[in-house]
Amino acid sequence: MSYPIVILGSGRGSNAEALLQSELNKKLGLAKIAALISDREDADILSLGQKYKVPAIYIDAGCESDHLTNTAEQVYIERISSFSPKLIVLAGFMRIINSPLIDAFKGRVINLHPSLLPSFPGIDSIQEAFEYGVKITGCTVHWVTPELDAGPIINQKEVHIDESDTLELLTRKIHVAEHQLLPEVVSHLSNVN
């Protein structure tokens, strides 16, 4: 049985790399990373394609704002479908996904978010949690629904904010937690679905 997954990201791709490394180390259950897709032509996540021998594809979002145009969303649906994925992972994909894409892959899209949802949804979540002064924050993996960052939570990992933490230190601690949480969730889903 195979469990192809497609990863969407806009930036560094450290979480995509955590998944790729987990697959290499046979720690990703039945999951196999079928493709990396980005809305940014120069995103580092795309360079992982060559390193890990996985297709890495840039698809124009059609606009400069925080969403995909309807036309672009159709292109995303077609390209993603061509890999017949069982799961689509949003790992730092900084565009709002609309209903056509969510409906096309109903119950198969998950998102990684750098806070303990429902606290601090949206962007700049790490900074907001830090500035608010919470003592515990973390990261969340949840199912994607039309409401932003509000779908059912699959799992979370907490991160304690110490007195000596700076925003940079906290950001690093959250990334470390994400690199553990996301592969654990993907592995688990691949084994139960």
User: Nearest distance from residue 4's CB to ligand GAR, in Å?
Assistant: 20
Q: Which is nearer to ligand GAR, 10 or 190 (CB)?
A: 10
- Looking at beta carbons, which residue is closest to ligand GAR? 92
Q: Are strands 153-160 and 136-143 parallel, antiparallel or unpaired?
A: antiparallel
Q: Which is nearer to ligand GAR, 27 or 175 (CB)?
A: 175
> Under a CB-based contact definition with an 8 Å cutoff, are residues 72 and 40 in contact?
no
User: Nearest distance from residue 178's CB to ligand GAR, in Å?
Assistant: 6
User: Nearest distance from residue 65's CB to ligand GAR, in Å?
Assistant: 15
Q: How many residues does the chain have?
A: 193
Which residues of the shown chain bind ligand GAR in the complex (CB under 6 A)?
Answer: 9, 11-15, 91-92, 112-114, 123, 175, 178
**Which two three-digit tokens encode residue 174?**
């959250």
In angstroms, the CA 1 to CA 92 distance is 28
Question: Could you give the residue numbers annotated as active site?
Answer: 113
Query: Which H helix or E strand runs over 75?
Result: helix 70-81
